[in-house]
Chains A and B, each alone.
Chain A
């Protein structure tokens, strides 16, 4: 078995600094790399893009960013859609759209379920991120995106497929749209930050007309009476529950804080991540 290229992307580390995004542009705009890629147009093509997602609602909000690009799928819909062998899978796993043979084949753009392919209007060719295959072939050990990233988001790994599957299982890596069976070679760590819901709330006490944050209160999240998760409020009386499935229905929250009392509320979780508001503890009756 030959070792092949994979890319691991850690969503938790991405700062949206755009170093990788600009490196891909820098590598391709104005550069013709015969056999690999024709020049990228000066503007409008983002072969590597950064997706943005906000979770939570004012004032408990999080923002996350995730680089997305061609996944170099092992079962690539784009290859099936291409005529006369315009797209090939290299032995090292990298998918290359031939800049000559693909000319005029606009159907390739629509074939990619990840929308990773851009159409070059001037040259009439489909184009995507080539995993810096031309540089790896020259002896580079990592992609430009990885070299440019100050946060260590990317990790290019050249291993046999079996080993990659072990890494995937051990580190809990995920791929995008696994349900399509495209077998991407780009893996994500902490993908829940982009896909799952986050709820937050604030717990306060009130004594003699003075409101204070209730730190250290125990907050239990339940669904149909069953405990799903529990946490403790921070200095500001805030709590957060992460990794909740979107549209997963009704939840109850119960808060207890020793002498300060207790509180509760219920909510329905839709597609968005709500802020649950302020829960004022009432002394136990």
Chain B
């Protein structure tokens, strides 16, 4: 289109929009300005003036424009401005300075967004339900959701019911029966409680400053967590934060550290891997290097036997739902509680398995929720000792000859050495069922019975919460040994042959794995190619500008408090691209970088999630930390350990887009196969942000504008809704539906594949000796030792009973042969622990998502299996065996104190027969931290059981947590806090 015509059209279009859409007219009144469009090579162009919402315009060059949008020449300008816009061309023009913006940054952002709004003002969203009610859609960590809104208020949230227009559901035929999932979505409790979270009394609604914090005077750092906060304006808050960023940056690279949780509210845009990372890449910060805290044993251990590094060491799962229902005779759930945390899509499928008469066995010191629901044999080993049990299974299999000899011979290495160890030829100890009984407390007869059944009947091994990893025993002090044993026993039974595989029906639904929609780990608009999987697909499919931090400093997350207090901390990388990636050390400080003196905390409850968290509490009072910002939605345990608080809004108050449980390439690819349908939500902005809260995107944009980077951050005024459209356009959805239809209806169900075209069964290619045919692009091509797609990601290409990669790395806790080494806390070895006789399990929480949903105003707090209301406070539930409770005079709902040398926490007792005596089970689920006395040095009434867990790594040379099996004592809470931290006791 001709340039002068396009430029003439811009003010015309604005006038029309303002006449038709009052919202647009209102927007034009927000700012007065003169914007000049012009060419750089010749004085041609047009100016547009906005004044009190009125538009005037003239051809040529204005003398005094506030803002100039300049193009290198006419061809570039025409290309840039002619709709439909070619994003690749636009990005190219911006990146290579073919187009530029001169003028105040915030004005540029506003004006460009106003131009873009010309299109989006015509878009409509939501379904009219009558009576003034509109049904919107959204997405939560617990599932996609319908949101009913009336008069600007959410009145109802429900799971989604599909309609006839939505793609049909799949059917599996098994043993003469047909199984089809219900035509709806399910919600985990932390999704179903979201309305109460939005309207929680505990929402942060205004920017705040600690009363005794003066950025230009006395900072009173010692009072973080103690002093009150006062409301301040956004302007003041942004000025403090932006000037503190500048002040810290002047000290040198790395002075600012950013600390975020492992998760965020659902949605590709607002996720920390997009909005947050994009911003901090522009600023340059010290990163916290996360450990794989739900995967530890798989990542640091199992991976060395079979690769799967891009699945964090856990196995693939394609086709296993169908195969299990068709073939399996027994399912063994080993430390496996899929009915906790991640929703209930698989629960129906397990009910089918039960109907089909598949035998169920549950191995867990706690008869977990799934075990309680499904029934079957419950085996309760002493926490930490499971790998002895597993080795005894091997012993029976070997001595009775009931393992897959042909698989072992053809597809594995090192079996003879393994066999010699199991038979006791190497160390003189045969790993018999009787031997394990002394370790685990499980009768030898149960091991023999299970081993014989397993060795002769088709068996699925559900290892970990998802059946293919996650949570439970993998994150205890013996987690590495356990996960390695899971891989080893899978190999002895020839995993990958029909009826023998990994899974518990939680993963592996027969969905379309080729349809592209980006997962959140693909980084969305972050432009971050280094710390997200952006480069796998997203960077090509959704053109956007790359961002990259110049700061090369990182801190292993577990030891941030040590880094601050001691000025140094070392750990190992979580680098999933290869097996040996985990051998790379990280050291803080980095060469040429400066110590951290400012922390930007994003989300605010790590006192509940970080091990030995009293370290975190006291860290905040360290004078070396000159400034702390906390950007959060709710006031949680950690929030007030800051100087300035910035209120973020919930995902219901802003735009976003995301597919249910699609994390994306780079982190457990095809995670959505947990669901019965692939459901993509346009996450409508259902209501306006409460109070003065803002979306994470808008907060980062506002700070960026103060630093002159707003245009860069927002790619020239792109709004969240515009980004949603760009994500939509980048995906395969655009081939099936239109943007306008999707935006209005709010969700899309991806059609599943016909039965004849489903993904092949997981691991079957390896079992059969074919080339890899499952739809995952892993391992990386360079990791195949033979031809592409041939064999596993190990040095031999085979399953390795003796892990050759561990021969190249000297970690005494991870010998190449997976010996049984009791590394858990034990008074027999650690006499100073003698007064702590009980083992604490702190599993993933069932009702909150980690601790999201546990807010003080949340409906979840009324769930008796989560918290108990006593004297006006909701106390976290700790489960205790009847025997241990009786010995201490403890009854149901009594307040009890759990303590050791690291911490002391008050919980409410749930007395149960579902626990092995000697074991306490309390979830890491507390968003609250309520110290009875001095923060970090007294008993917590909020329920942060992680205060009790050790901050030592899971093995000597790794970076991983080991919270399960911590030794503690329990007593009735007297109401008087006598607990002192260890050094105070000693000194």
A residues contacting B by CB (< 8 A) are 13, 15-19, 21-23, 25-27, 29-31, 42-46, 50, 52, 54, 56-63, 144, 147-148, 150-151, 204, 210-213, 215, 234-238
With A15-B339, A148-B187, A212-B448 as given contacts, are A235 and B359 in contact (CB-CB < 8 Å)? yes
- Residues of A contacting B861 with CB < 8 Å? 43
- Residues of B contacting A62 with CB < 8 Å? 372, 375
Docked-complex contact A151 and B351, CB < 8 angstroms: yes
In residues 842-858 of chain B, which contact A (Cβ within 8 Å)?
A: 847, 857
Docked-complex contact A22 and B445, CB < 8 angstroms: no
- Residues of A contacting B156 with CB < 8 Å? 26-27, 31
- Residues of B contacting A235 with CB < 8 Å? 359, 377, 449-450, 453
Q: Residue B348 at the A interface, CB < 8 A?
A: yes
- Residues of A contacting B187 with CB < 8 Å? 19, 148
Q: How far is the CA of A242 from the CA of B369 in the complex (A)?
A: 21
Q: How far is the CA of A260 from the CA of B159 in the complex (A)?
A: 55
A contacts with B: majority SS: mixed
Docked-complex contact B443 and A211, CB < 8 angstroms: yes
Q: Residue B155 at the A interface, CB < 8 A?
A: yes
- Residues of A contacting B819 with CB < 8 Å? none
Q: Which of B446, B860, B915 contacts A213 (CB 8 A)?
A: B446
Docked-complex contact B445 and A150, CB < 8 angstroms: no
* Closest CB in chain B relative to A273 CB, distance in Å: 9
Q: Which of B192, B444, B445 contacts A237 (CB 8 A)?
A: B445
Q: How far is the CA of A88 from the CA of B912 in the complex (A)?
A: 41
- Residues of A contacting B182 with CB < 8 Å? 150
Docked-complex contact A59 and B158, CB < 8 angstroms: no
With A43-B859, A147-B159 as given contacts, are A215 and B881 in contact (CB-CB < 8 Å)? no
Q: How far is the CA of A234 from the CA of B373 in the complex (A)?
A: 19
Docked-complex contact B862 and A17, CB < 8 angstroms: no
Q: Which of B345, B369, B859, B864 has the most CB of A within 10 A?
A: B859
Docked-complex contact A147 and B913, CB < 8 angstroms: no
Q: Which of A19, A22, A61 contacts B378 (CB 8 A)?
A: A61
C-beta contact mask, B30-62 vs A, less than 8 Å → 1, else 0? 000000000000000000000000000000000
With A213-B445, A236-B446 as given contacts, are A23 and B196 in contact (CB-CB < 8 Å)? no
Q: Which of A18, A29, A144, A213 contacts B863 (CB 8 A)?
A: A18
With A19-B186, A23-B158, A58-B881 as given contacts, are A63 and B444 in contact (CB-CB < 8 Å)? no
* Closest CB in chain B relative to A20 CB, distance in Å: 9
Q: Residue B869 at the A interface, CB < 8 A?
A: yes
Total count of chain B residues near the partner, CB < 8 A: 62
Q: Which of B344, B449, B860 contacts A17 (CB 8 A)?
A: B344
* Closest CB in chain A relative to B333 CB, distance in Å: 15
Q: Residue B917 at the A interface, CB < 8 A?
A: yes
With A43-B857, A62-B372 as given contacts, are A54 and B377 in contact (CB-CB < 8 Å)? no
With A29-B196, A213-B449 as given contacts, are A58 and B377 in contact (CB-CB < 8 Å)? no
Q: Residue B367 at the A interface, CB < 8 A?
A: yes
Q: How far is the CA of A6 from the CA of B869 in the complex (A)?
A: 32
* Closest CB in chain B relative to A224 CB, distance in Å: 29
Q: Which of A25, A42, A57 contacts B913 (CB 8 A)?
A: A57
Q: Which of B158, B344, B862 contacts A25 (CB 8 A)?
A: B862
- Residues of B contacting A211 with CB < 8 Å? 443-445
Q: How far is the CA of A237 from the CA of B452 in the complex (A)?
A: 13
In residues 427-459 of chain B, which contact A (Cβ within 8 Å)?
A: 443-446, 448-450, 453
With A16-B369, A17-B344 as given contacts, are A25 and B859 in contact (CB-CB < 8 Å)? yes
Docked-complex contact B865 and A16, CB < 8 angstroms: yes
* Closest CB in chain B relative to A272 CB, distance in Å: 10
> Which residue on A lies nearest to B917, using beta carbons?
A58
Docked-complex contact A63 and B367, CB < 8 angstroms: yes
- Residues of B contacting A234 with CB < 8 Å? 377
Q: Which of B377, B863, B869 contacts A44 (CB 8 A)?
A: B869
- Residues of A contacting B860 with CB < 8 Å? 18, 22
Q: How far is the CA of A26 from the CA of B198 in the complex (A)?
A: 11
- Residues of A contacting B159 with CB < 8 Å? 19, 147-148
* Closest CB in chain A relative to B389 CB, distance in Å: 14
B contacts with A: majority SS: mixed
Docked-complex contact B347 and A215, CB < 8 angstroms: no
Docked-complex contact B378 and A59, CB < 8 angstroms: yes
- Residues of A contacting B201 with CB < 8 Å? 42
Docked-complex contact A22 and B192, CB < 8 angstroms: yes
- Residues of B contacting A60 with CB < 8 Å? 378
Q: How far is the CA of A61 from the CA of B368 in the complex (A)?
A: 11
- Please list 22 pairs of residues, one from A and one from B, whose beta carbons are closer than 8 Å in the complex, sorted by A's number: A15-B369, A16-B369, A17-B344, A18-B192, A23-B192, A26-B156, A26-B157, A30-B199, A43-B862, A50-B864, A54-B914, A56-B913, A57-B913, A58-B380, A58-B883, A63-B914, A147-B159, A148-B187, A210-B444, A211-B444, A236-B446, A237-B449
Q: Residue B98 at the A interface, CB < 8 A?
A: no
Having A22-B193, A25-B196, one finds 19 other A-B pairs with CB under 8 Å, namely A15-B344, A15-B347, A17-B339, A17-B347, A19-B344, A25-B862, A26-B195, A26-B196, A30-B155, A42-B199, A42-B859, A43-B862, A57-B913, A58-B913, A61-B913, A150-B345, A213-B448, A235-B359, A235-B450
Q: How far is the CA of A151 from the CA of B351 in the complex (A)?
A: 9
* Closest CB in chain B relative to A152 CB, distance in Å: 8
Docked-complex contact B857 and A15, CB < 8 angstroms: no
Q: Residue B897 at the A interface, CB < 8 A?
A: no
Q: Which of A26, A31, A61 contacts B192 (CB 8 A)?
A: A26
Q: Which of B195, B347, B859, B882 contacts A150 (CB 8 A)?
A: B347
Q: How far is the CA of A236 from the CA of B159 in the complex (A)?
A: 41
Docked-complex contact B195 and A29, CB < 8 angstroms: yes
Docked-complex contact B377 and A236, CB < 8 angstroms: yes
Q: How far is the CA of A211 from the CA of B153 in the complex (A)?
A: 66
- Residues of B contacting A13 with CB < 8 Å? 351
- Residues of A contacting B444 with CB < 8 Å? 210-211
- Residues of A contacting B186 with CB < 8 Å? 19, 150
- Residues of A contacting B862 with CB < 8 Å? 21, 25, 43-46
* Closest CB in chain B relative to A218 CB, distance in Å: 18
C-beta contact mask, B191-206 vs A, less than 8 Å → 1, else 0? 0110110011100000
Q: How far is the CA of A30 from the CA of B186 in the complex (A)?
A: 23
- Residues of A contacting B913 with CB < 8 Å? 54, 56-58, 61
* Closest CB in chain A relative to B161 CB, distance in Å: 7
Docked-complex contact A26 and B869, CB < 8 angstroms: no
> Which residue on A lies nearest to B377, using beta carbons?
A236
Question: Sorted from nearest, which 4 A-B pairs have the closest CB atoms?
Answer: A63-B372, A150-B186, A22-B192, A150-B344
C-beta contact mask, B893-921 vs A, less than 8 Å → 1, else 0? 00000000000000000001111110000
Docked-complex contact B196 and A42, CB < 8 angstroms: yes
* Closest CB in chain A relative to B919 CB, distance in Å: 11
Q: How far is the CA of A278 from the CA of B161 in the complex (A)?
A: 50
* Closest CB in chain A relative to B438 CB, distance in Å: 14
In residues 135-181 of chain B, which contact A (Cβ within 8 Å)?
A: 153, 155-159, 161
> Which residue on A lies nearest to B133, using beta carbons?
A138
Q: How far is the CA of A13 from the CA of B348 in the complex (A)?
A: 10
Q: How far is the CA of A63 from the CA of B315 in the complex (A)?
A: 31
Q: How far is the CA of A150 from the CA of B196 in the complex (A)?
A: 21
Q: Which of B158, B196, B359, B449 contacts A148 (CB 8 A)?
A: B158
Q: How far is the CA of A198 from the CA of B78 in the complex (A)?
A: 80
Docked-complex contact B380 and A19, CB < 8 angstroms: no
